[in-house]
Structure 1
Amino acid sequence: MIDAHIHADCRPYEDFKNMAVAGIESALTLAHDPLRMSTSAVVLDHFYRILENDFKRAAENGLTLKAALGLHPRSICQDYKLVLRKLPWFLDQDLVIALGEIGLETASNLEREVFRIQLEMANELGMKVAVHTPRKNKREVTIKTLSIIEGNIDPSLVVVDHVDPSIIDLMADFEGMMGVTVQPQKMTPTEAVEMLEKTFGEYGPERFMLDSDMSSSPSDPLSVPKTVHALKMAGWDDKKIDMLSCKNAAQFYGL
């Protein structure tokens, strides 16, 4: 299994062992806003923390970790342009395989500009991108998010994450991947199975990947294995379950 979206810097050492014991072999940790990101120095130190600490903690427990780095919409500091200038260097590091987590939170003009710049950067580099969708005003903001994606990057490079029943219909014309986040206060394993059963016929099993988005918010490091169990109990065949919980993410990110 692969957990396609976590924030390892917020999690205790023991979580990585529990994930590995439950059958998760690898995970992608993404940049976000663990602190008050008041200056570029804080944001860049966050990037360095991911590169210098979290891979070792995961590896010591048998979990292979890769990273996505980028300027999260809640991390846009006053001197954000310095972060954007330095970002290509970080993206060139061996363990960094994607740009993210980026996107819109409130869809302010500044957020949209920073989002567009990073999409163009990823498109130029041919790099995969993990795109955030917010909890509040989710549908309205996602409509704007998809519009910006359409005009600035090849959608085959993009996974739109935290897709739930409130926005799944908006993905009809989107040609990229969709992340299904199973997390307390977002979606339960049972709710994820129900959504997938209703939409598989339209979108196909190759378009989805599972993740926990475990962070400082209420989280469950075992949400991917629990969702796999729920899929088995619902009668899904092993091939489709493997696509959702491993193969799709492995192929998309090159894990």
Structure 2
Amino acid sequence: MRVIDPHAHMTSRTTDDYREARRSGVECVIEPSFWSGSDKLYPESFFDYFEHIIDFETERAERIAGMDHYVTIAINPKEADDREMAEAVIDRLPEYLDRDRVVGVGEIGFNLQTDAEEWAFREQLRLAEEHELPVIIHLPHTDKPAGAERTVEILEEEGATQERIIIDHNEPDTMEYTAATDCWLGFTLYPGKISIEDVMPLLEEHGTDRMILNSSADWDDSDPLAVPKARDAMLDAGWDREVVRKLVFENPLEFFSQAENFEYEP
């Protein structure tokens, strides 16, 4: 059963990771803009990074693994707390939003839930709305319920098109807020945070429409095979094959097909 991983920071992975993911059924990945492992010191560092993931990573994915690779562009919440830096970067973001392989804005949202992060969140949300692009929203890793509640308030205040938004990094204590929206909901299968065994009861309760599984596959203790492993775990647990296919393939395909530059063909 083929897989699309809709949130994987492949610039942090090795070529062997690409090959293993492809052998496990991952045919397509979307790479959101992320913290590069150390803080960027200058606005120009962001632009070099954007060029890297747009050009080099898409070429590497195809060359190494025959995998389709797309990106979303943003200043990540972890790097949005420097207001002066954020203003300089966001001012130039429109230059990148029409580039080949760019299929959205993200990830944006909260990290420490500061005023500067909220300013960057709103500005980038407005850019996505202007360009009619999908959005990946990052829920904070601490005080998640409050972050989820504030995230939903901002989406409503901004009048964002919720059908073009994934609210990612959901856990049981965020569902009260996020499941009440028309947004798509992402679950990042990350060691020590949430597993597919944790997610399955949430899917039973809330259904599988607008639900998406991803790996993150970043610099920390993450697994680029998390989505194929979740597929297998759900099948082993007796879930209907078509329901599992919907989660790991059809839902991310439907969501990112809203982007004009998303050209993946099953």
Give TM class, smaller chain. Answer: over 0.9
CA contact (8 A) 1:133 1:160 kept: yes
Q: Deviations over 1:42-86 (max 9, x none)?
A: 222211111121111111211110101111111224322221111
Aligned to 1:122: 128
Aligned to 1:40: 43
> What runs of 5+ residues in structure 1 fail to find an aligned partner?
none
> What runs of 5+ residues in structure 2 fail to find an aligned partner?
258-263
User: Any idea what SS the aligned residue of 2:7 has?
Assistant: strand
In 2: Cα distance, 1:79 partner to 1:186 partner: 31
- CA-CA distance at 1:147 after TM superposition: 0.8
1:7-46 residue pairs with structure 2 within 5 A?
Answer: 7-34=9-36, 35-46=38-49
1:61-140 residue pairs with structure 2 within 5 A?
Answer: 61-76=65-80, 77=82, 78-140=84-146
- Using structure 1 for the length normalisation, give the TM-score: 0.95
Aligned to 1:193: 200
Does residue 234 of structure 2 align to residue 226 of structure 1? Answer: no
Aligned to 1:6: 8
In 1: Cα distance, 2:149 partner to 2:256 partner: 25
Q: Percent identity?
A: 27
User: Any idea what SS the aligned residue of 2:5 has?
Assistant: strand
Amino acid at match of 1:122: A
Aligned to 2:187: 180
Q: Deviations over 1:115-166 (max 9, x none)?
A: 0011111111110000001211111111111111112211111100011112
CA contact (8 A) 1:193 1:227 kept: no
In 1: Cα distance, 2:248 partner to 2:123 partner: 31
CA contact (8 A) 1:106 1:141 kept: no
Aligned pairs, number? 251
In 1: Cα distance, 2:86 partner to 2:188 partner: 28
In 2: Cα distance, 1:52 partner to 1:93 partner: 10
Aligned to 2:152: 146
CA contact (8 A) 1:192 1:227 kept: no
CA contact (8 A) 2:167 2:178 kept: no
Aligned to 2:166: 159
Q: Deviations over 1:190-229 (max 9, x none)?
A: 22223322332xxxx2210110011001011111011011
In 2: Cα distance, 1:163 partner to 1:141 partner: 11
Q: After superposing the two structures, state which structure 1 stretch, 224-233 or 39-48, moved more.
A: 39-48
Amino acid at match of 1:79: M
Aligned to 1:55: 58
Amino acid at match of 1:183: Y
- CA-CA distance at 1:238 after TM superposition: 1.5
Q: Deviations over 1:97-124 (max 9, x none)?
A: 0100110112211111110011111111
Aligned to 1:211: 214
In 2: Cα distance, 1:233 partner to 1:163 partner: 24
- Using structure 2 for the length normalisation, give the TM-score: 0.91
Task: Give the ranges of 4+ consecutive aligned residues of structure 1 lying more than 3 Å apart after TM superposition.
Answer: none
